[in-house]
Amino acid sequence: MGKISTDAFIREYGVAAKQKGTAMETFIKKHIVTDYVDFLTKCVYCDNIINATCYIKDGDREFVKINSTNRYLFFTMRLIELYTDIEIDQEKVWEEYDKLNKVGAISTLMNAIPEVEYAEFSTILNMKMDDFRDNSYSVTALFYNLKNSLSISEEVINSVIEELTKQENNE
């Protein structure tokens, strides 16, 4: 079975919503094309979400700027992309989300994705976000990045880290 455009899915969704009985459930099940995505694929998709929602570019430079609302949007749309046959136009992902959400399809589709898969994808994304924060904002990461950017000797960095550790232990 091939992919279906968001607009075609919404048209069919509207027809199924007007029917009685189990038409909607049958319709949604028809569009859930997988019940398992391998761990590595989930990791790659989560890395892409982090990269797309935690950095901004200014010319050649890249800065950390976290956008949690975009992370939610990409999380939702990547799940739909991975588990359904709906083809998401990546250039118009916000519009695609709005179209699906306006007719109530987002929540219906999210509920149709296997719960364990949804939970694992969410857990992996949260873990990767925690890693991003730790690797970007922890005291150790800040000193490591400072050392690399200013070519400060390792002895100076180690002495500062030791002093900070002593201060934290005394508090």
Q: How many domains does the chain have?
A: 2
Q: 157 and 102 in one domain?
A: no
Which residues in 56-95 are b (16+ Cβ under 10 Å) and which e?
eeeeeeeeeeeeeeebebbbbbbbbbbbbbbebeeeebee
Q: 171 and 103 in one domain?
A: no
Q: 122 and 168 in one domain?
A: no
Q: 142 and 128 in one domain?
A: no
Using CA of residue 146, residue 148, residue 152, residue 153, what is the dihedral sign?
positive
For residue 92, what are the domain limits? 4-136
pTM of this prediction?
A: 0.80
Q: 93 and 9 in one domain?
A: yes
Q: What is the full per-residue pLDDT of the chain (171 aa) written as tens digits?
A: 589 999 999 999 999 999 988 999 999 999 999 999 999 999 999 999 999 999 888 888 888 899 999 999 999 999 999 999 999 999 999 999 999 999 999 999 999 999 999 999 999 999 999 999 888 777 776 666 666 666 556 677 678 778 877 877 776
Q: 150 and 110 in one domain?
A: no
Q: 83 and 144 in one domain?
A: no
Q: 103 and 68 in one domain?
A: yes
